[in-house]
């Protein structure tokens, strides 16, 4: 997607602070961190969000979640971490490329879910 911000970050056309990458995913620090550690894990393949995923996306989704856990370990989040994927307008998704927020590095005040 030529006009997608995260596709441009993955392609290196927009700079980012890389944290992790593999064949299917790319992870970088959020520009507006909500926690001491705030990393975005995105699939290299453009999917607008979780609602756009189907059976053909299973390998990509699994790779993203595995990447989240690897990022958490790499960042030393031994006390725990949270993974969030905002999907759609009600959830205030601002970038329409599937992404998982990996948050940690401190006690979170609100229990989600
Ligand atoms: P969401 O609201 O769930 O769609 O999260 C999008 C996140 O993307 C938000 O936390 C801020 C982050 N973000 C937006 N633009 C950039 C950027 O240019 N670089 C980086 N590193 N993060 C960005």
Q: What is the pLDDT of residues 15-66, one digit of tens each?
A: 999 999 999 999 999 999 999 999 999 999 999 999 999 999 999 999 999 9
Decide if 92 is inside a domain: yes
Decide if 109 is inside a domain: no
Decide if 113 is inside a domain: no
Whether the model clears a pTM of 0.95, i.e. scores above it, the answer is yes
Q: Kindly name the residue from 38, 46, 97, 99 that is annotated as catalytic.
A: 99
Cα 94 to Cα 73: distance, rounded to the nearest angstrom: 27
Decide if 47 is inside a domain: yes
Task: Provide the CATH number for the domain around residue 70.
Answer: 3.30.428.10
- In total, how many domains does the chain have? 1
CB 8, CB 53: distance < 8 Å? no
The terminus-to-terminus CA distance of the chain in angstroms comes to 33
Task: Judge if the beta carbon of residue 91 lies within 6 A of ligand 1.
Answer: no
Mutate to test the pocket of ligand 1, among 20, 28, 40 (most ligand atoms within 8 A of CB): 40
Decide if 101 is catalytic.
no
CB 57, CB 41: distance < 8 Å? no
What is the extent of the structural domain holding 60? 5-104
């Amino acid at each position: 997607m030529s006009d997608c911000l995260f596709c441009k970050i993955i392609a290196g056309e927009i700079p980012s602070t890389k944290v992790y990458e593999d064949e299917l995913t790319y992870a970088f620090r959020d520009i507006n961190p909500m926690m001491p550690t705030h990393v975005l894990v995105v699939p290299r393949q453009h999917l607008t969000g979780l609602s756009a995923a189907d059976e053909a996306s299973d390998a990509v989704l699994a790779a993203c979640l595995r990447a989240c856990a690897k990022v958490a370990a790499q960042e030393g989040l031994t006390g725990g971490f949270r993974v969030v994927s905002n999907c759609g307008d009600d959830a205030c998704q601002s970038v329409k490329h599937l992404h998982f927020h990996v948050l940690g590095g401190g006690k979170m005040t609100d229990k989600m879910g």
